Structure 1
Amino acid sequence: MPTNLYRVQGPEGAIPFHQFLLTEKYDKLKTIASSLHKNVRNDNRDFSEQRKLCVKTGVITQAKGSAYVECGRTKVICSVFDPKEVPNKVEYAKTGELQCEFKFTTFSSIQRRGYTRDAEERQLCNELRRALEPAICRGEFANFEIQINVLVLENDGSVLATAITAAGLALIDGCIPMYDVITATSLGVYENKILVDPTYDEESLCLSTTSEGQSCGTVVLAYMKNLQQITEFAQNGSMDIFMFPEYVQTLIEKNCKLYTMVISTIRNDVAEHFKNQT
């Protein structure tokens, strides 16, 4: 994306204000860490409690399917467009392709992001595509591609899991054939404590801690409940291998709970559609 020429630029040699907030951020992470040592989260949630979820489909009229998902303060909007032929493709492909785009708005976080794609966005885009490919009946779109765009309006943690859930809802809203409904949840591990649906500050704490002998990091798991299939598993940090069964089982249980909410939303949308037809 081009640079915004209408944005007022600071004088040459100016220092961004967020650099002066590093001490404040460190103090905030220190406060969260001390609260976790007392088995209390900063937002007063239980360790296994997810944030409240707000779901809305059909928010973009120009797209074939779209969805808006709000998980706490994390806000993600996803759009899906009609299948189209793959440009400049000579060989015949039996399965269709997914073209995913994952983009943060410049105002999505405290530190203003750039307009061009960075390494984090490319990594999240690849993980999003890997999660969605097993859920879509790509054999129905031979030599075609489906465009999926994800835009993060605000990032307050668990952004990849929220984006995967939003993309699954957008595909259903666009009547794209799928094997099953796909959902995703995430957790953070801080000194062997499992934090379900971590906030941005909790993720920063989990990824910045390097305590010897302690497990710290984040995990994202995408899941199809009816097929009992894990479509994507992404882990960052250093964790004890013996904790693997525990946090995988926790994520699967949270995905099953999220699946019930997604199915309820889809049923309400279908009932409203037929009600408007009559």
Structure 2
Amino acid sequence: MAEKYKRTDGRAYDEMREIKAKAGVIKNADGSAMFSFGDSIAIAAVYGPRQLHPQHLQDPSKCLLRCTYDMLSFSVNERKKPGPSRRSTEISYVTGKALEPVLQLDAYPNTVIDVFISIIQADASTRCAGINAASIALANAGLPMSELVTAVSMGKVAGNILVDLSKDEEDYRGEKIKETTDIPVAYLPRSDKISLLQLDGRIKVAELREAIKAAKKACLKINEIQREALKKIKE
């Protein structure tokens, strides 16, 4: 049974933090974007398609999508060791898998598209902020896409399903329910498909269904903000 829980910032359970998005933030990149959930800020830069070197990595049937996620050392209060970590390597991989379904990679054989995601400020939900920024940046680069990828971090805190967890909520331990469950979701609104679903913690099937339903609803709002950011850059 869920415990009574009040979000520290006063949000409703299905309410996201303030969202900001902007396309074309890096002049020298082929495409770029900023996306933020509250105090979590991601910057994405896209370069390519371009020739892939060394040559043995080339695929004659398609383009390689290479994503690099990096949480900068000054993005958190605690001193972070610079360089790639096991976590950043894993997030880089799943980010690529979340974005691949909307790209026409077979149109650019033997090439690479590099997506660099930098987290300049972190307060949870950074992988989802990064995916949202990368999706806008890919569109800003003029790459053919079937649709935008949207992402949001769901969670179960003190037995309650919440949208867009903050760091305080990720770390919360209830009186009886000590474990918080983190559920990053990437969603394709037009085709109604999920391109990323991760689960860290325990959850019942009915609760997971509830979380996915709430994630889809939140992602529709995120999609509107992404599209508006791209519209502004064209004006």
Q: TM-score range by the shorter chain?
A: over 0.9
Would you say 1:94 and 2:58 are equivalent positions? no
Letter in structure 2 aligned against 1:102: Y
- Structure number with greater Rg is 1
The unaligned stretches of length 5 or more in structure 1 are 1-35, 273-278
Would you say 1:71 and 2:37 are equivalent positions? yes
1:145 and 1:121 map into 2 onto residues whose CA distance is 20
Question: Are the counterparts in 2 of residues 216 and 239 from structure 1 also a CA contact under 8 Å?
Answer: no
| Aligned partner of residue 53 in structure 2, secondary structure | coil
The unaligned stretches of length 5 or more in structure 2 are none
Q: How far 1:174 sits from its partner (Å)?
A: 0.7
Letter in structure 1 aligned against 2:66: Q
Q: How far 1:188 sits from its partner (Å)?
A: 1.4
Query: How many residues end up aligned between the 2 structures?
Result: 233
In the TM superposition, what are the counterparts of 1:24-43 in structure 2 within 5 Å?
37-43=3-9
CA deviation string 1:156-187 (max 9, x = no partner): 01111110000000001111111111110111
Q: How far 1:210 sits from its partner (Å)?
A: 11
Over aligned residue pairs, what C-alpha RMSD do you find?
2.0
Structure 1, 257-266 or 52-61: larger mean CA deviation: 257-266
Would you say 1:110 and 2:77 are equivalent positions? yes
1:96 and 1:56 map into 2 onto residues whose CA distance is 27
Aligned pair in 2 of structure 1 residues 125, 209: CA closer, same or farther (>3 Å)?
farther
Question: Stretches of 4+ moved more than 6 A in 1?
Answer: none
Would you say 1:237 and 2:192 are equivalent positions? no
Structure 1, 140-149 or 215-224: larger mean CA deviation: 215-224
Name which structure has the greater RCO, CA cutoff 8 Å, separation 6+.
2
Question: Are the counterparts in 2 of residues 210 and 216 from structure 1 also a CA contact under 8 Å?
Answer: no
Would you say 1:155 and 2:122 are equivalent positions? yes
Would you say 1:184 and 2:148 are equivalent positions? no
Would you say 1:225 and 2:161 are equivalent positions? no
Would you say 1:261 and 2:233 are equivalent positions? no
Question: Are the counterparts in 2 of residues 215 and 240 from structure 1 also a CA contact under 8 Å?
Answer: no
In the TM superposition, what are the counterparts of 1:128-207 in structure 2 within 5 Å?
128-205=95-172
Question: Are the counterparts in 1 of residues 155 and 183 from structure 2 also a CA contact under 8 Å?
Answer: yes
| Aligned partner of residue 200 in structure 2, secondary structure | strand
- 1:50 corresponds to which residue? 16
1:267 and 1:144 map into 2 onto residues whose CA distance is 28
Letter in structure 1 aligned against 2:216: I
Same amino acid, percent of matched pairs: 24
Question: Are the counterparts in 2 of residues 75 and 154 from structure 1 also a CA contact under 8 Å?
Answer: yes
1:174 and 1:209 map into 2 onto residues whose CA distance is 45
TM-score, normalising length from structure 1?
A: 0.79
1:183 and 1:149 map into 2 onto residues whose CA distance is 17
Would you say 1:248 and 2:212 are equivalent positions? yes
Q: How far 1:54 sits from its partner (Å)?
A: 1.1
Q: How far 1:216 sits from its partner (Å)?
A: 3.4
2:83 and 2:200 map into 1 onto residues whose CA distance is 24
